[in-house]
């Protein structure tokens, strides 16, 4: 009996350690992805003799991407430190903020994808011509930044799942009662 209990505790400890390793790895992966996407967007500008210049700070969708990437980078770095130092019970906080950051990254990625789409395709109804044939390097950098952003987003989605598992695995599933037991409880 004692051996079964020790085996269960050992298995639980191994599971906890592997889950912690996965969480730490995802946080360590998300940090440079956010930094690279942020850097690639911030330094993105191009000048054309015929059409002037374009920079990422001129487009609101890309400014929003920069802001969310900066927030994601700061949170990713801070949460990595929280994983190393257990000062308090952080599971609920990480669950909420991991999800919040993932949602913000979805919205900023969508805004930047819209900017890229309009730059590549234009909008004939609004008399906007496409711009990527004139500013090809600028569009290529936006694509690269979006690819890095997507990889960071996938890391945060996985982190949100790990955080949810960590929080909700502490609780037991609700018991299923039969109708006879439910009637007894009602009385």
pLDDT per position as a tens digit, 26-79: 999 999 999 999 999 998 888 776 677 878 888 889 999 999 999 999 999 998
At 8, the pLDDT band (50, 70, 90 cuts) reads very low
pLDDT of residue 94: 85
CB within 8 Å of 108: residues ≥ 6 apart: 64, 65, 67, 68, 69, 149
- Alpha helix positions (H), the chain: 2-42, 60-84, 91-121, 136-168, 179-186
Q: How far is CA 177 from CA 61, 174, 187, in A?
A: 52, 9, 15
pLDDT of residue 177: 67
Burial group, residue 28, by CB count within 10 angstroms (0-12, 13-18, 19+):
middle
Burial group, residue 147, by CB count within 10 angstroms (0-12, 13-18, 19+):
middle
């Amino acid at each position: 009996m004692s051996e079964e209990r020790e085996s269960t505790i050992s298995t639980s400890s191994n599971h906890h350690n592997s889950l912690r390793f996965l969480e730490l790895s995802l946080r360590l992966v998300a940090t440079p992805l956010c930094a690279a996407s942020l850097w690639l967007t911030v330094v993105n500008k191009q000048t054309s003799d015929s059409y002037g210049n374009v920079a990422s700070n001129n487009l609101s969708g890309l400014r929003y991407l920069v802001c969310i990437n900066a927030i994601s980078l700061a949170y990713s770095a801070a949460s990595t430190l929280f994983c190393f130092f257990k000062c308090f019970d952080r599971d609920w906080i990480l669950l909420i903020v991991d999800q919040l950051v993932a949602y913000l990254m979805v919205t900023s990625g969508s805004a930047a994808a819209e900017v890229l789409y309009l730059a590549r395709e234009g909008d004939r109804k609004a008399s906007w011509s496409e711009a990527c044939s004139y500013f090809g390097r600028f569009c290529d950098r936006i694509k690269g930044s979006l690819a890095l952003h997507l990889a960071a987003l996938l890391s945060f989605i996985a982190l949100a799942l790990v955080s949810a598992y960590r929080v909700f695995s502490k609780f037991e599933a609700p018991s299923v009662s039969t109708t006879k037991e439910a009637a007894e409880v009602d009385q």
